[in-house]
Structure 1
Amino acid sequence: MDFPLPDNEAERLAELHALDILRSASAEALDGVCVLARQMFDVPYACIGLVNEDRHIFKANSGWGDTDGTSRAHSFGTWTILSSETLFIPDTRTDPRFASNIYVTGPPHIRFYLGSPLALRPGVNIGSLCIFGCEPRELRPGDLALLSHLTRIIIDQFRLHQANQRAKRELEHRRASQCLLETQSRELWRRQTLLAQTERMARVGGWEYDVASARLSWSDGVFRIYGLTPGLEPTTALAQSYFPSEARQHFQKRFEAALRTAEPFELELPFINAQGHHRLIRKTCELETDGARVLRAFGILQDITEQKEAEQRMWHMANHDALTDLPNRGLMREKLDLAVRRARRASHNVGVLLVDLDHFKDVNDTLGHDAGDALLVEAARRLSGCVDDADTVARLGGDEFIVLLSRLTSPAEGMAVAQQLLAVLAQPFSYRRSTLSCQGSIGVTVAPIHGSDPLTLLKNADIALYRAKSAGRGVAVEYDPRMQQATESRIQLAARIRLALRHGELVPYYQPKVSLTNGEIVGFEALMRWHHPRRGVLGPQDFGEVFDDPQLSIEIGEQLLGQATRDMARWAAMNCPFGHVAINVSSAEFSRGHLAERVLAALAAARLAPELMVVEVTESVFLGRSMETVRQSLQALSHAGVKISLDDFGTGYASLTHLKQFPVDRIKIDRSFVQDLEHDADDAAIVRAVIHLGRSLGIETVAEGVETRAQAAYLRANGCDFAQGFLYARALPASRVPALMEGWCAADAVHGSDGPLVVAV
């Protein structure tokens, strides 16, 4: 190696490569700086280069043809980056480091050199600004100050590139999750590129003021910033006339102070150019002194309008939702933290309203994401229109919004605003000939009553929102400390169920299905029971809420399928004619995929015919994004011989068309219609209509929850095929099914008196 290395070479190279600028396009703004440097220093050559492992790569140059750099061994920049100080060589032929350099002995015959290291962090020099000529010379007063300003402009350009690179990475990350943001990101990147190309043009200029003669001079760059034709004689009055009054007074005050104290300064000032365009400029001022007397003031004028606008746009994008343009979660947390601290000092209340749109997933799944996006935008508009300017509406993600009421006069005002929001959201709106609903549920917390810090307020608002959705949706619920206990109980229950699954405490019980024609048992429904180690056998009323957890629902379903097929295999081995066994399948099990394959594999492993299995589904599984998956799974099961039963018919969201779209063999009439059919004419009419519908479509009907002979007689008289309920038997463990079948009396099932037919088996 025939060139010196800085002590921090590894760190320096890491910094250079992290900047990711070596392979970027040529920088016209940096070329403009080189041109400006040549003019200021009256030299034929200037270049801006970055020093990598073995080369000094030019990012810009003026005067030195089309060369893209030099080897590091022959580069003056190699020596410039060794120190944070300016490298000045008045005559290279007298300097042993450079006397034999190929660029000294040959073209361009460098004799004078002035180099400034370029560093984004102190001491970590990645390149240099090089100013050189063919004649030896000494520095003039103010040259180092001018060099310092030019260096700062170059570093600002590098920082802008660095910011653009960060912005690009952030935008690319967002594209992966939001299609709309992807479009906006590409548009923003396009504009950023155009902005960068515009800024690379000569938007800097130098100015000088001679104190003794009061004479002001400008470079051509200053004329361009002012929008004036170069050559006009500038005066202080002309220079100041393009600044608004306050900015003019501010600069004049700082300038007069600088002339008295010889202290340099830098200002960012509003500016109106000759074309009437409002701009923002950075103006620096350095002083040349002779003892205590200031001889000359000079500096740089830079148009930073686009740079500031780009920073503002980037901040806005980083802190706002791309679809609704509302503040995002991060900005809302900052605003909430500020509001809570202000409220603490002023002793007033802050409200947090967590809003969740009801059935938003159904809109996405049935009408598409365009409709879902339109719904979110409309909901954002309505929420924003209901609050004061001092309050904030933000989108947290998905269909969840938050409303921050920064100054409540009383805690009750939070619920009042929530009710107003519900009323506004409840109004339907039209989208492409469809009527959509923005109806929502709201959880309400008020500081400091429900929490004195943002994290607690948000957590409690989420608990209240869960309670609102559990209460039927479309309502607002204010947080109550007792809700926390319910939430903890729900979490503990889920954890206990997971433990029960591992310990085999969840087992299927079997309730018989009886033919209303001859009284024979035609099959069983497998119903999950929990053998609690302390509380005994528990039914779904004690643990049914865990089915809201998709993962738990899948695990319980797997256990039910495996245990049921093993029980069926044992009965078959005992020659017990159990008919069939029906198992309930949740939406989560369909969404997981390959349901048909798993059911058929379990039957095959137990050596059971598919005809011995019935899959029961509720109407809700027919809705949503997985509808096609449900259709394919049910068709595969039906084709293999597994019967399909539609459970709780009439209580969900399915339409009659689903009876034609899906392979349904049986309809189960929900117990809510059966239990009052003796006393409620409407329920009796519904039951009768469902039976006649099934008969018309060739679909069998099964009545659930049959408890009296009168109910059974009505069902039989109207043509219902099967019944199950306490009239015939409660759900029994698998071990008692053979005895039940052996002792069953079909005649009693048809003609016996009220009361369970099976008391003990």
Structure 2
Amino acid sequence: MFGLPSACIGLIDRDRQCFKANSGFGDAEGTSRAHSFSAWTIMTSDILVIPDASRDPRFQDNIYVTGEPHIRFYVGAPIALRPGLPIGSLCLFGPEPREISPAELEIVAHLTQVIVDQFRLHEATRRTTRELEHRRTSQSLLEMQSRELWRRQTLLAQTERLAKVGGWEFEVATARMIWSDGIYGIYGLLPGVEPTPELAMSHLPVEARQHFLRKFEHALRSGDPFEIELPFVNAQGHHRLVRQSCELEIEGGKVVRAFGILQDITEQKQSEQRMWHMANHDALTNLPNRGLMRDKLDVALRRTRRSGGYVGLLLVDLDHFKDVNDTLGHDAGDALLIEVGRRLSASVSEVDTVARLGGDEFIVLLSRMENPGDGMVVAQRILAALSLPFVSRRSSLSCRGSIGVTIAPDHGTDPSTLLKNADIALYRAKSAGRGVAIEYDPRMQQATENRVQLVARVRLALKNGEFLPYYQPKISLSTGAIIGFEALLRWRHPRKGLLGPQEFSAIFDDPHLSVEIGERLLQLTTRDMANWGAMGCDYGHVAINVSSPEFAQGELPERVLTALDLAGLGTDRLTIEVTETVFLGRGTETVRQSLQLLNQAGVRIALDDFGTGFASLSHLKQFPVDRIKIDRSFVHDIEHDIDDAAIVRAVINLGHSLGIETVAEGVETSSQASYLRANGCDYAQGYLYSKALPASRVPTLLKGWNAEAAAYCGTTIPLDALS
């Protein structure tokens, strides 16, 4: 009735509690009164409920709480034959904390009254026996016994009704059946209808009836009890689920009587089903969650090992989903996730499974593939479905995503390997520009391991101070003077020597490392600038590159301004260089606010690699930009490629129109410098003038610089002299 493993009826004397009845408490005949819960129960006239004994000061040190059977939940009802005469208690307990409902308390009260009535009946019977022995039979006592019996039967009937349970009995020789009122209630029949085996079976569907009869006939032959769950249709036509238990009475080696309990467990099973669904499905999208997907993947892989074929696993991650939450709120984000789940489900067959792993990550299980190429076919179909516009509350939302694809058994035969390889393929899809699907290749594993090793080595390098800035000068094309420098990150590797960013660019995919390296570069650059100033060097300004993760928390302005203040530097001494990917990444509003705060404080903003992005013109309008840098890819062939030359002229003219300075990167020849000067470019940097130098060589460069010669065509100091 309560789903608890243990119950007992304990009688209390001065030192001991003895069990009158015991189920689930081992073979114990009783306990000491000192550790008995009943000793507390009989001190009250009401039912004692302890939701969690380990939190109750009265019981938390009790040996049956700290040790077997590890009691947590306890319900005790005092057994009193008369007011003021408690003799023991009915105890129900289990090892898990829980609460008890009013309906269950009513059942406990009914059961307690039944027990009290049993004791009273026993007492009355003994009294009657004594009176018969002494020939003092009392008619009033017999009437009392009848009343007690009637009360007991009434209480039992009420208990059956509340618990939706009833008892039955079947005499084998005569085929005569007896039902309690509870059985009639389950069948939906009025008491008094003659119970027959045919009536009992008529409410079971055909298959359930055959199943029960096979069990029952086997029990009659073997004498073995059984318990089964069966579908059931009551007299009103309602479909229910019942639990049928059967015990046998044997005399002379033959079964003479069968008896048992029938219980309606429909609501219990529905509750269990709801709990299972909640535990195995995502609350927002109602899709299977990670646990259920893992189970389905296990089943699919086992089937594949037996019968062949392929299993596909598609890991889907939405692109720039955080922007939706940041700009339109979590309601819009939730609507987008629900829509993505719907589109994914519509893109696969009924035998396939779509699950949400959490956040903006989904997984698609293709459980019955005949061709290993079908995985990419479905992935492309999904990308097409996600690319369709989606409008929520008049806002257009992007459902686009990236997909990593793995196929079993080609890319793994167990769930962990397939999921890991799908994640590797997804990482490659994101690195390739997002919005694409990439199938796992074993060579990706080596690349991932190399990246993991590189990250670990970079952490050590940061700890050992192996990263430092090198400085490349920027030259005024009109005067030839050095107007500033760009700080370029270098790694002084103990074995490989000096490494440029191209040797360790993969680490910038790690947001934490990217921020840490950015902070180190800022710290070292401002230190070098302060040292040059103390030496009387007029170095102009220094530009440092800032990555997207450094904007994420919105703390960049405070960090930059604090570093300048600690070094005693004016804000005009520093320029922040950003690439267009910073504008296209997540948290666009945070980037805009950070750049505006820095610009208002006097820090200049430069847009690096101009012309290689997607929306440069709109970015010049939306963000505070003081300087644009023409990418070296346009400068390299400026003398021979008319398209590159046209692009460079257009960028210079655009800068003049907007009042923005222009800087050409990668200038290596005098003719390139002359072309840029003739077309009005403001500044240039590149090997024509100087390669990047360590901080210690900057004063020498500044001291020996010949601006007039530089304005004519190139550097005045041989590179060998500075290296």
TM-score, normalised relative to structure 2: 0.77
Report the identity percentage: 65
Partners of 2:17 and 2:36 within 8 A in 1: no
Aligned counterpart in structure 2 of residue 600 of structure 1, from 561, 583, 597: 561
Partners of 1:620 and 1:654 within 8 A in 2: no
User: Deviation digits for residues 265-321 of structure 1, max 9, x if unmatched?
Assistant: 222110112232211011222334554455543332211112112222222222222
Distance in structure 1 (CA, Å) of the matches to 2:86 and 2:249: 29
Partners of 1:708 and 1:754 within 8 A in 2: no
Provide closer, same or farther for how the CA distance between residues 391 and 296 of structure 1 changes in structure 2, counting only shifts above 3 A: same
Distance in structure 2 (CA, Å) of the matches to 1:727 and 1:432: 56
Which amino acid in the other structure matches residue 243 of structure 2? R
Aligned counterpart in structure 2 of residue 517 of structure 1, from 456, 461, 478: 478
Aligned counterpart in structure 1 of residue 372 of structure 2, from 411, 414, 432: 411
Matches within 5 A, 1:347-362: 347-362=308-323
Provide closer, same or farther for how the CA distance between residues 255 and 492 of structure 1 changes in structure 2, counting only shifts above 3 A: closer
Aligned counterpart in structure 1 of residue 275 of structure 2, from 314, 319, 331: 314
Range with bigger deviation, 495-504 or 671-680 = 671-680
Provide closer, same or farther for how the CA distance between residues 110 and 582 of structure 1 changes in structure 2, counting only shifts above 3 A: closer
User: Deviation digits for residues 212-265 of structure 1, max 9, x if unmatched?
Assistant: 554434333333322334444443333322211121222233334444544332
Long gaps (5+) in structure 2: 1-12, 26-34, 51-61, 70-77, 127-151
Distance in structure 2 (CA, Å) of the matches to 1:559 and 1:273: 77
- Equivalent residue of 1:67, what SS? coil
Partners of 1:514 and 1:723 within 8 A in 2: yes
Distance in structure 1 (CA, Å) of the matches to 2:80 and 2:49: 10
Q: What residue is the counterpart of 1:553 in the other structure?
A: 514
Matched, 1:399 2:360: yes
Partners of 1:525 and 1:583 within 8 A in 2: yes
Distance in structure 2 (CA, Å) of the matches to 1:526 and 1:754: 19
User: Deviation digits for residues 681-716 of structure 1, max 9, x if unmatched?
Assistant: 554444444444444443333232233444434443
Provide closer, same or farther for how the CA distance between residues 691 and 306 of structure 1 changes in structure 2, counting only shifts above 3 A: farther
Q: What residue is the counterpart of 2:46 in the other structure?
A: 67
Distance in structure 1 (CA, Å) of the matches to 2:708 and 2:192: 117
Distance in structure 2 (CA, Å) of the matches to 1:208 and 1:658: 86
Provide closer, same or farther for how the CA distance between residues 4 and 426 of structure 1 changes in structure 2, counting only shifts above 3 A: same
Distance in structure 1 (CA, Å) of the matches to 2:49 and 2:512: 63
Matched, 1:542 2:503: yes
User: Deviation digits for residues 714-750 of structure 1, max 9, x if unmatched?
Assistant: 4434443322222322211111111111122222222
Which amino acid in the other structure matches residue 268 of structure 2? Q
Which amino acid in the other structure matches residue 121 of structure 2? E
Distance in structure 1 (CA, Å) of the matches to 2:440 and 2:707: 55
Provide closer, same or farther for how the CA distance between residues 648 and 242 of structure 1 changes in structure 2, counting only shifts above 3 A: same
Provide closer, same or farther for how the CA distance between residues 615 and 604 of structure 1 changes in structure 2, counting only shifts above 3 A: same
Alpha-carbon offset, residue 211 of structure 1: 4.6
User: Deviation digits for residues 164-202 of structure 1, max 9, x if unmatched?
Assistant: xxxxxxxxxxxxxxxxxxxxxxxxxxxxxxxxxxx9944
RMSD value, Cα: 4.2
Range with bigger deviation, 741-750 or 292-301 = 292-301
Provide closer, same or farther for how the CA distance between residues 631 and 57 of structure 1 changes in structure 2, counting only shifts above 3 A: farther
Q: What residue is the counterpart of 2:530 in the other structure?
A: 569
Q: What residue is the counterpart of 1:645 in the other structure?
A: 606
Alpha-carbon offset, residue 643 of structure 1: 2.1
Q: What residue is the counterpart of 2:147 in the other structure?
A: none
User: Deviation digits for residues 40-93 of structure 1, max 9, x if unmatched?
Assistant: xxxxxxxxxx985863299xxxxx9x933599xxxxxx9x99x99xxxxxxxxx
Q: What residue is the counterpart of 1:132 in the other structure?
A: 116
Distance in structure 1 (CA, Å) of the matches to 2:452 and 2:716: 39
Distance in structure 1 (CA, Å) of the matches to 2:485 and 2:238: 83
Matched, 1:612 2:573: yes
Distance in structure 2 (CA, Å) of the matches to 1:749 and 1:601: 36
Provide closer, same or farther for how the CA distance between residues 671 and 57 of structure 1 changes in structure 2, counting only shifts above 3 A: farther
Distance in structure 2 (CA, Å) of the matches to 1:228 and 1:716: 104
Q: What residue is the counterpart of 2:461 in the other structure?
A: 500
Which amino acid in the other structure matches residue 83 of structure 2? P
Q: What residue is the counterpart of 1:456 in the other structure?
A: 417
Q: What residue is the counterpart of 1:218 in the other structure?
A: 179
TM-score, normalised relative to structure 1: 0.73
Matches within 5 A, 1:265-414: 265-292=226-253, 294-414=255-375
- Equivalent residue of 1:760, what SS? helix
Provide closer, same or farther for how the CA distance between residues 683 and 303 of structure 1 changes in structure 2, counting only shifts above 3 A: farther
Partners of 2:320 and 2:585 within 8 A in 1: no
Partners of 2:324 and 2:332 within 8 A in 1: yes
Long gaps (5+) in structure 1: 14-49, 59-63, 72-77, 85-100, 140-146, 155-198
Alpha-carbon offset, residue 577 of structure 1: 0.3
- Equivalent residue of 2:41, what SS? strand
Partners of 1:645 and 1:666 within 8 A in 2: yes
Matches within 5 A, 1:724-739: 724-739=685-700
Alpha-carbon offset, residue 469 of structure 1: 2.7
- Equivalent residue of 1:103, what SS? strand
Provide closer, same or farther for how the CA distance between residues 440 and 721 of structure 1 changes in structure 2, counting only shifts above 3 A: same
Matched, 1:589 2:550: yes
Alpha-carbon offset, residue 642 of structure 1: 2.2
Q: What residue is the counterpart of 2:131 in the other structure?
A: none
Which amino acid in the other structure matches residue 294 of structure 2? R
